[in-house]
Amino acid sequence: MLSLLTRSAVYGVIVAGILLFAVPSLRTNQLFPDVALVQFETNESLLSYNYAVRRASPAVVNIYTRRYSNENRLQLNAEGLGSGVIMSDKGYIVTNYHVVARADQIIVALQDGRISTAQLVGKDLRTDLAVVKVELEDLPVIPFNDSYDPSVGDIVLAIGNPYNLGQTTTFGIISATGRPGMSFNQRQDFLQTDAAINRGNSGGALVNSRGELVGINTASFQQATDIDTYGISFAIPYSLTVKIMQKLIADGRVIRGYLGVEGREVNQVMARLLDAEQVRGVLIAGLAPNGPAEKSGIKVNDLIVEIDGKPINSFRYALDIVADTRPGTEVPFKLIRDGKPIEVMVTIGEDPAR
């Protein structure tokens, strides 16, 4: 009986050895995974936006502001915080107007550890943009791509300093383009995104998946309206940011052209009443007393169809053309009056609202 058991044990060991040799999956590192590392193989690649963040984040700075105390004019007190974007190796940094508007002192902290006071170059309430300048060398500049056209659904990353936690990146998409201003009496269009923009993110960078600047973060819908919302935030488009920055650097403020009209866009019914062949243009509904339009001879119910050779399809577009024209410039306007085309020369004034 004992010899039978011995033979069975020997046979069992032999069979086990043959199985372990023939079937590798039964070896020790598979049977006892605590003894050796288990290796997993996959063909899927890791999806990451690390490249975009590494490319853009060095150019996003923290901004701290201080004000003199009312009790002691020699004492500076902490006022607020925000973010900014280095736009030039000459030290020009773009941020929000509301970040630096009330500051007596502006301090900029770079991601490489350098800290510097900054000089206010100029600010513009209407667009909520401001430019400050630091005197530092070897500055990282945010990547640009002038040919990039933001579209709904594009991946974007918001980089800034929310609640002074330190540089933070949030993720989302462009939810909409061409949103009108939510505050500050702005008329320009905004980018809407669901990337989280919290207090302290203001003035930071909104970048695409290549790390290129898409816009300047300005506010969440909740900050602008005091309505409890989630996932609705706004950024000032890159193209407008650059235009305003250049004007602030050149003049210290934004000098806008002014026409002095109230207008309505034309529909088919209005076109018939005006005996106009084309359904486009802006109908003059009102004139500012003694304004540039009234001085030039433009009248109520005139239809503006062209300004300086550019066809007019909306009142917003007409205002943009005028705003971008230097005050004092004489510009041809093509009108339809009483069903007949006429042309008048208008000397553009300076916008009294700054």
Give catalytic residue positions. 98, 128, 202
Length of the chain: 354
Residue appearing with tokens 């009790």: 71
Question: In a 10 Å sphere around its CB, with 0-12 CB exposed, 13-18 middle and 19+ buried, how is residue 266 labelled?
Answer: buried
By DSSP bridging, strand 205-208 and strand 213-220 are: antiparallel
* Residue 128 CA to its chain's centroid (Å): 12
* Separation between Cα atoms, residue 176 and residue 171, nearest integer Å: 15
- Give me the half-sphere count of Cα atoms (radius 13 Å) on the Cβ side of residue 203: 35
